[in-house]
């Protein structure tokens, strides 16, 4: 069996994958940001300085060449005018071609060897083609722009421009063309043009440009290296501090920075070490204080068990014999029984919290159906719900809802959530919803009572916390139920969330992994705050049952 041809990877896909990686490296590396920023800024500064230097050199060379060209052309024009006048006053019978050749040859000898310029003697267009024209070194009359010829003819004065000097053999070089009118009486009106090639200036500019570019690149690289070295000296202690802080946060309280020298970075390391030592001392003190508090709670809770048992036995005798007492004594026996129940629940919760604090809580895992645990919890709070005239409904969206958990602890979580909902639901119905997916199961307990404000949600799982401290408890709660429920959920690697709005009620969501090795990242059920108010679950996906 042969595999079919594979298409090459799309370059755009590779670019899309590389861009987030580069962005992450850019954000995380101070050394990279400082070095690249220094290189970019250095490149911009060196580039601007190089352009300014080249501009000044170019301007200076061209101004010098321009002055030389104008001076040489003015002197040549005077010589040409003198030769023309000599030809007119001498009564010579020479032909116009001989006169033009003499003038051009005389001007050409002034150019030197090799010639520094070329000469063109062009007849004025109005004289017609009969007047002879001459040039030196195969220079073409196309080298003179028409605009320059018009300027010379119209102004009758010397004019010049930068252009490209062309030769009959196909060569072309940049240069300056200086022109002026010349009158030869025996022939007619002419235009004398001096053409100065800028070959040497171009070579000089190329050399300067290469030197500026090479020096600029070398300077930028040197500045980048300097920035890299200097930044490393600054970043290295910062990275050391970050590593030390990470080790410190992981519990290695003895980690310290290495102090070198006496500069600002050394003072930073010294201050960091002093702060770490102070934090270590404070943490040890808090750990010791916490251990003492936990041991005190545990010891007191255990020590109270014995006298509580004796008091319970006596109270039970009094409670069972209350019919033979007078009314005040019978009422006192009933109150004693009620408060003993509350006291016993408080001791039980304190012992449970002490087990969590000591890390002694363990799970007795079984595979159970979450619906069964919910039904048990509902039956457990039914007497309380009946006294408060509260209806409880259960909606199951998916089935089965098997989960690997400690049934006793999860049932306690559900019972605590239901007790809380009944207590604060003010008689309004309580909705329980169950759902699951491949990795997790979830249950939400929603009441429609007083609700919770935003800052109260942050403290709802705190020990002994009450939303309204002035509100008297009617169900005899200890203030530890939600705190224990949160610890039970965490022990199962689950999540317990809370939502609430004033006047709209509250909702608690318990999410548990189906297996102990699953890590949760989502929940099968949303909280009311995550839902779109316009979206409703189809009726055929929800099975409702009245739990009353």
**Do residues 166 and 108 both lie within one domain?**
yes
145 or 242, greater pLDDT: 145
Cα–Cα dist 411/307, whole Å: 30
Single residue among 343, 361, 379 that ends a domain in this structure:
361
Task: Please report whether residue 13 resides in a domain.
Answer: no
- Of 286-295, 320-329, 461-470, the one with minimum mean pLDDT is 461-470
pLDDT band at 424 (very low <50, low <70, confident <90, very high): confident
**Do residues 269 and 401 both lie within one domain?**
no
**Rounded to the nearest 5 degrees, what angle is found at the Cα of 332, between the Cα atoms of 327 and 333?**
100
- Of 148-152, 369-373, 468-472, the one with minimum mean pLDDT is 468-472
- HSE-up of residue 108 (Cα within 13 Å, Cβ side): 17
Asked if 312 contacts 340 with a C-beta cutoff of 8 angstroms, the reply is: yes
**Do residues 353 and 416 both lie within one domain?**
no
Residue 203's domain spans which residues? 19-248
Task: Please report whether residue 72 resides in a domain.
Answer: yes
Residue 539: the pLDDT is 34
pLDDT band at 540 (very low <50, low <70, confident <90, very high): very low
pLDDT in tens, 432-452: 999 998 889 999 999 988 888
Residue 14: the pLDDT is 57
Residue 15: the pLDDT is 57
Task: Please report whether residue 391 resides in a domain.
Answer: yes
Asked if 505 contacts 447 with a C-beta cutoff of 8 angstroms, the reply is: yes
Give whichever of 445-459, 461-475, 505-519 has the largest mean pLDDT.
Answer: 505-519
pLDDT in tens, 328-361: 888 888 888 878 877 777 777 777 777 776 666 7
**Do residues 425 and 334 both lie within one domain?**
no
pLDDT band at 91 (very low <50, low <70, confident <90, very high): low
What long-range pairs does 96-100 form, CB within 8 A, spacing at least 24? 96/131, 96/132, 96/184, 96/186, 96/187, 97/132, 99/184, 99/186, 99/187, 100/132, 100/133, 100/134, 100/184, 100/187
**Do residues 70 and 169 both lie within one domain?**
yes
pLDDT band at 33 (very low <50, low <70, confident <90, very high): confident
N-term to C-term CA, the chain: 65
Task: Please report whether residue 68 resides in a domain.
Answer: yes
Task: Please report whether residue 491 resides in a domain.
Answer: yes
Task: Please report whether residue 152 resides in a domain.
Answer: yes
**Do residues 140 and 262 both lie within one domain?**
no
Residue 477: the pLDDT is 56
Task: Please report whether residue 1 resides in a domain.
Answer: no
CATH of the domain at 509: 3.30.565.10
pLDDT in tens, 54-63: 899 988 988 9
Give whichever of 117-121, 261-265, 542-546 has the largest mean pLDDT.
Answer: 117-121
- CA-wise closest residue to 443 among 378, 367, 518, 523: 523
**Do residues 388 and 516 both lie within one domain?**
yes
- Of 10-14, 44-48, 126-130, 296-300, the one with minimum mean pLDDT is 126-130
CATH of the domain at 160: 3.30.450.20
**Do residues 26 and 152 both lie within one domain?**
yes
Question: Does residue 468 carry a pLDDT above 60?
Answer: no
**Do residues 345 and 391 both lie within one domain?**
no
Residue 342: the pLDDT is 74
Question: Does residue 504 carry a pLDDT above 80?
Answer: yes
121 or 481, greater pLDDT: 121
Single residue among 339, 361, 383 that ends a domain in this structure:
361
pLDDT band at 537 (very low <50, low <70, confident <90, very high): very low
Asked if 258 contacts 241 with a C-beta cutoff of 8 angstroms, the reply is: no
pLDDT band at 8 (very low <50, low <70, confident <90, very high): low
Residue 12: the pLDDT is 56
Asked if 349 contacts 478 with a C-beta cutoff of 8 angstroms, the reply is: yes
Q: Is 534 helix (H, G, I), strand (E, B) or coil?
A: coil
Helix (H) or strand (E) holding 219, with range, is: helix 199-249
**Do residues 375 and 498 both lie within one domain?**
yes
**Do residues 211 and 67 both lie within one domain?**
yes
pLDDT band at 197 (very low <50, low <70, confident <90, very high): very high
Domain count, the chain: 3
Report the mean per-residue pLDDT for the chain: 80
Task: Please report whether residue 9 resides in a domain.
Answer: no
Single residue among 361, 387, 407 that ends a domain in this structure:
361
Residue 449: the pLDDT is 86
**Do residues 262 and 383 both lie within one domain?**
no
């009969």: which residue's tokens? 130
């Amino acid at each position: 069996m042969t595999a079919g041809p594979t298409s090459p990877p799309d370059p755009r896909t590779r670019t899309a994958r590389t861009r987030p990686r580069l962005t992450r490296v850019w954000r995380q590396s101070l050394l990279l940001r400082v070095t690249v920023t220094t290189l970019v800024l250095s490149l911009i500064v060196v580039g601007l300085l190089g352009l300014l230097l080249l501009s000044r050199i170019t301007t200076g060379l061209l101004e010098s060449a321009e002055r030389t060209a104008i001076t040489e052309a003015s002197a040549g024009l005077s010589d040409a005018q003198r030769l023309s006048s000599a030809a007119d006053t001498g009564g010579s019978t020479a032909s116009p071609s001989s006169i033009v050749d003499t003038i051009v040859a005389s001007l050409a000898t002034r150019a030197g060897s090799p010639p520094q310029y070329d000469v063109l003697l062009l007849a004025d267009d109005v004289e017609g083609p009969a007047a002879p024209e001459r040039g030196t070194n195969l220079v073409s009359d196309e080298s003179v722009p028409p605009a320059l010829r018009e300027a010379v003819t119209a102004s009758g004065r010397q004019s010049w421009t930068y252009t490209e000097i062309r030769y009959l053999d196909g060569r072309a070089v940049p240069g300056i063309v200086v022109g002026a009118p010349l009158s030869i009486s025996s022939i007619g009106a002419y235009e004398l043009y001096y053409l100065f090639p800028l070959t040497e200036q171009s070579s000089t500019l190329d050399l300067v440009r290469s030197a500026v570019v090479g020096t600029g690149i070398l300077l930028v690289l040197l500045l980048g290296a300097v920035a890299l070295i200097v930044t490393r000296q600054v970043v290295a202690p910062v990275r050391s501090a970050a590593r030390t802080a990470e080790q410190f946060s992981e519990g290695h309280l003895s980690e310290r920075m290495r102090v070198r020298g006496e500069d600002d970075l050394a003072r930073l390391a010294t201050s960091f070490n002093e702060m770490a030592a102070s934090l270590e001392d404070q943490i040890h003190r808090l750990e010791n204080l916490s251990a003492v508090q936990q041991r005190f709670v545990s010891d007191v809770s255990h020590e109270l068990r014995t006298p509580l048992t004796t008091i319970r036995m006596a109270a039970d005798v009094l409670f069972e014999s209350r019919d033979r007492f007078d009314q005040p004594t019978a009422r006192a026996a009933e109150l004693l029984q009620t408060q003993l129940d509350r006291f016993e629940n408080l001791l039980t919760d304190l012992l449970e919290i002490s087990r969590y604090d000591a890390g002694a809580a363990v799970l007795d895992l079984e595979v159970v159906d979450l619906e069964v645990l919910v039904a048990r919890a509902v039956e457990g709070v039914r007497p309380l719900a009946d006294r408060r005239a509260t209806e409880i409904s259960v909606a199951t969206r998916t089935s089965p809802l098997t989960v690997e958990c400690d049934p006793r602890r999860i049932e306690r979580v559900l019972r605590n959530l239901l007790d809380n909902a009944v207590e604060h639901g003010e008689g309004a119905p309580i909705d329980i919803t169950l759902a699951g997916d491949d990795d997790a199961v979830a249950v939400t307990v929603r009441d429609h009572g007083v609700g919770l404000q935003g800052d109260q949600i942050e403290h709802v799982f705190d020990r002994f916390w009450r939303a309204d401290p002035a509100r008297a408890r009617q169900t005899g709660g200890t203030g530890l139920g939600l705190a224990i429920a949160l610890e039970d959920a965490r022990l199962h690697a689950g999540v317990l969330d809370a939502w609430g709005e004033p006047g709209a009620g509250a909702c608690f969501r318990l999410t548990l992994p189906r297996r102990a090795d699953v890590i949760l990242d989502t929940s099968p059920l949303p909280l009311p705050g995550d839902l779109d108010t316009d979206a409703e679950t189809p009726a055929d996906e929800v099975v409702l049952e009245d739990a009353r």
